[in-house]
Amino acid sequence: MADAVPASGTVHWIGAGLSTGSGLASLCGAAARVRVWHRTEERAGEALAALGLSGRAEPRAYTPEALAAELAPGDVVVSMLPAPEHGPLLAVCVAARAHFACSSYVSDAVLDQVPAAEAAGVTVLTEAGLDPGIDHLFAHSLIARASEAIGPETAASYTLTSYCGGVPAVPNDFRYRFSWAPAGVLNALRSPARYLADGAETTAARPWEATRPHVIDGETFEAYPNRDSVPFVDQYAPPPSWKPLTFVRGTLRLDGWLTAWAPVFEELRGGDDARIAALARELAARHPTTEADRDRVVLEVALDVRAGSGESWTGRYLLDLVGTAEESAMARLVSRPLALGVRHILDGSLPAGLNRAAETGERSEAWLAELAEEGVEFTLRVG
């Protein structure tokens, strides 16, 4: 692993939208200096005031050029921007030998720059939010625990399911509350989902058509596969002697969502990009989020391992959090693990090059313990 440029102690938080929460506050206590960049300096100041951080961080008007002018080697840039903007922002960081962190999946645009980042001593932290992020920590922890219990050389088959959803704390007729941009929600549903079922790769061209009931502690949800689960078999690195039967990473919705969204699905089947963009605006106007609304985040990761000898191991992590007037559950659960990762960049414990929140069972256990100490509550059941 390459040596990283020593951290300067300055953090640049780029974007202060729906997912910016108390993780930013924790960095204001851990970093020597924090700058919050938003569309305008006034908007950045308003975001800081809403979080009770006025005077603890410096507001800035964001443009790539303005950021580049203030970046110094060893600074840490935290991107809360949409995923397509991460590649260009990382290029700015590599040129300045500044570290980079985000909560999003690794894109090709980011991956292409990893060799240059490593050569420059730049740490690139990705997948360090909720989903992806905490879900990875749970999965790595479960696999490490099962491997220790059954033995990494023991031939076995396993089922791993990882479902996460942001839903209304009080169910509404629409059975949903937009916790991120409606256009992003709709476009995710337009993307095929690939996963393993009965030991074989399966693709759902329209993910919602693979929706199934999913019961958690007596409460029925609706769950469907999301994105491409298959690469995560290797990323989670179960023992080579284990064979996956079912491996699904997907999305949770409230019971009744499939019926409530039937008109939306009809639009998704036939609409072009322009129509879907218009639909996103219509849904945002028709189902606005008010100050009185509270969101709820439910994340369940479960592992069931069956050895040929008849031995078995099961484990499950469950996180179920309702937002408050001060902070949404989504903002808390995206920003806190991301801030934890940034603090590990600041203390020099992450190497240069590509890092994800979870890469080993050992690191996952350590980060989960730190998150628990900071008030991110979850439960583990083994039996």
Which positions are annotated as active-site residues?
131
56 phi and psi angles, rounded to 5 deg: -100, -15
* DSSP state letter for 86: H
Q: Write the CA distances from 177 to 6, 50, 170, 174, 299, integer angstroms.
A: 42, 21, 10, 8, 16
Yes or no: say if 379 and 317 are a contact pair by the CB < 8 Å rule: yes
Give, in degrees to the nearest 5, the angle at Cα 103 between 236 and 278.
115
User: Hey, which residues does 319 pair with through a beta bridge?
Assistant: 299
| DSSP letters for 264-283 | HHHHHHH--HHHHHHHHHHH
129 secondary structure, DSSP code: B
Cβ(238)–Cβ(244) under 8 Å? yes
H or E stretch covering 141? helix 134-150
Q: Cα separation of 109 and 95, whole Å?
A: 15
User: What is the rounded CA–CA span in Å between residue 137 and residue 357?
Assistant: 7
Q: How many helices (H) and strands (E) does the chain have?
A: 14, 16
